[in-house]
Amino acid sequence: MFKIGCHLSASKGYQNMAEEAMKIGANTFQFFTRNPRGGNAKPIDEADIAEFKKVSQEYGIDIILAHSPYTLNCCSAKPDIREFAIRTMKDDLERMEYTPYNLYNFHPGSHVGQGVELGIQYIIEALNTVLDKNQTTTVLLETMAGKGSEIGSRFEEIRQIIDGVNLKEKMGVCLDTCHVSDAGYDIIHDLDGVLEQFDTILGLNRLKAIHLNDSMNPPGSHKDRHQKIGEGTLGIETFKKIINHPQLKELPFFLETPNELEGYAREIDLLKKMYQTKET
């Protein structure tokens, strides 16, 4: 089954997100666990969660992806910023257990000049602090564009992080199509080759979600500016190949394109028309 959705606002709660997803033809969605700038999260409303679970079943929503605030930086040079990231992630993961067996995605962070090696050590420490053996949530490291001193634009860096984590079975990867292209992986001409590299370095079994974004910039630009599907440098054919790739097509796909709900509805419709359901 084609699992397709987009980023939605969490401000009106879980049930509202499920309703919105259904209205735009989605059967999954992504949301920020709190204000993206990292403030306090709204208290969990158990009645809302109960309603959400009910309508999810009805609408065929079986997986959702929570995104940590993108301003968190587990590998900052400043201890208070690292501690804040850890506290926030720990709280997010506790909240995630109200909706068990879902996905939590975060940006590895920026080493801000201390170097990749130290940055990676800090990310490992953070994960070893926040992960709990009883959690049901899978935590995803997002592949990054390599803007500034961002860690995670090379598959090898993500591998190094996972290697250092004690509870590896709780870890996965979210591949962002804009980011990997901006990072220099040629998914336009050689998707198979990129996936082979991913498999060799990380293992495709670790890949749990795809962010579907076109890019405003050419491959290798390290910019991270998302574009609407088919209107950027990746182009519509690339997305057709991605969503239909035998090793990707069962994964959940999330749009983070510059759109309002109507725009997302159009993109979801377009992608559904391109998704091949029958073996030919």
Partner interacting with residue 224 (select from Fe ion, Zn ion, none; CB below 5-8 Å by kind): Zn ion
- Confirm or reject binding of residue 34 to Fe ion (CB under 5 A): no
Partner interacting with residue 150 (select from Zn ion, Fe ion, none; CB below 5-8 Å by kind): none
Rounded Cα distance between 17 and 61, Å, is 11
Instruction: Name which of 14 and 106 has its Cβ closer to Fe ion.
Output: 106
Residue 152 beta carbon to Zn ion: minimum distance, rounded to whole angstroms: 12
Residue numbers of the site for Zn ion (CB under 5 A)?
A: 224
- Confirm or reject binding of residue 7 to Fe ion (CB under 5 A): no
Residue 107 beta carbon to Zn ion: minimum distance, rounded to whole angstroms: 9
Instruction: Name which of 76 and 181 has its Cβ closer to Zn ion.
Output: 181
Residue 140 beta carbon to Zn ion: minimum distance, rounded to whole angstroms: 14
Rounded Cα distance between 259 and 131, Å, is 33
Instruction: Name which of 52 and 253 has its Cβ closer to Zn ion.
Output: 253
> Token digits for 214?
């076109």
- Confirm or reject binding of residue 211 to Fe ion (CB under 5 A): yes
> What mask, x for binding Fe ion by CB under 5 A, covers residues 174 to 193?
--x-----------------
Which of 101, 22, 13, 15 lies closest to 64 in space, CA to CA? 101
Residue 139 beta carbon to Zn ion: minimum distance, rounded to whole angstroms: 18
Which stretch, 15-23, 125-133, 136-144, 235-243, contacts Fe ion (CB under 5 A)? 136-144
Instruction: Name which of 120 and 178 has its Cβ closer to Fe ion.
Output: 178
**Footprint of Fe ion (CB under 5 A):** 142, 176, 211
